[in-house]
Amino acid sequence: MKNFKNFGLIGLGLLFVANIALGFHIKGLEKHQPKKMTSLSDRFPHCEDFSGTWKGRCEYDNGEIDENESKIIRQQDCTELLVTDKDWAETISIGGINRIGSTLKQGGISNQDAILDINWNANRKNLLIRANSSFSSLENTWYNRVFSDGELSIDNGRLIETWKMEGEYTENGMQRKFKDGYTCTYEKQN
């Protein structure tokens, strides 16, 4: 009787393995089938594509206008952007937190540290960006801290980049607060 019990357990084990390996369907074992692999496009349905070389102008809340803005964006699926503009280049993951630290030229040499939270809106047409950034001179003679909300979208073939920000900075040893923003409109060059 003991051998029969072992044979029964071995038989059930072999049936289970056959079910998985050969795709046989045995009532009650269907739930143990391995899950079908999904493709990258199944996991990341369509989203707006921001790829391209873009040139345009930015209008700042304080009335200033910059006519010569440009950026290059390379997008991988709906999960990553490589953004290059005149001051920096970064690979940015979409759908989570990014930490960026660098030394850049911005009216002199400075250190930059930023934490970015970048996610798609519900219809996957706009990128929503929250940023906490700090800039300081290498000599620590000045310091800026900025909290920003930004958005990237495409409207009639144009890339629209909008930012609202507030923060604090040092000027002549005094700490000051500010609110600012800008909207850039770019035409695709390629």
The secondary structure of residue 36, as a DSSP letter, is P
Token pair, residue 101, equals 């630290």
The pLDDT score that the predictor gives to residue 108 is: 56
pTM above 0.75, yes or no: no
Strands 96-105 and 143-155: unpaired
Close Cβ partners of 31 (under 8 Å, ≥ 6 residues apart): none
The pLDDT score that the predictor gives to residue 113 is: 80
The pLDDT score that the predictor gives to residue 26 is: 36
**Per-residue confidence in pLDDT tens, the chain, 190 aa:** 443 333 333 333 333 333 333 333 334 433 444 444 343 444 546 899 999 999 999 999 999 999 999 999 999 999 999 999 887 788 889 998 888 776 555 555 567 788 889 999 999 999 999 999 887 776 667 778 899 999 999 999 999 999 999 999 887 778 899 999 999 999 999 7
The CA–CA distances, whole Å, from 133 to 23, 101, 130 equal 54, 10, 10
The pLDDT score that the predictor gives to residue 99 is: 81
Nearest residue to 125 via CA among 100, 89, 98, 154: 154
Q: Cα(174)–Cα(2) distance, rounded to whole angstroms?
A: 88
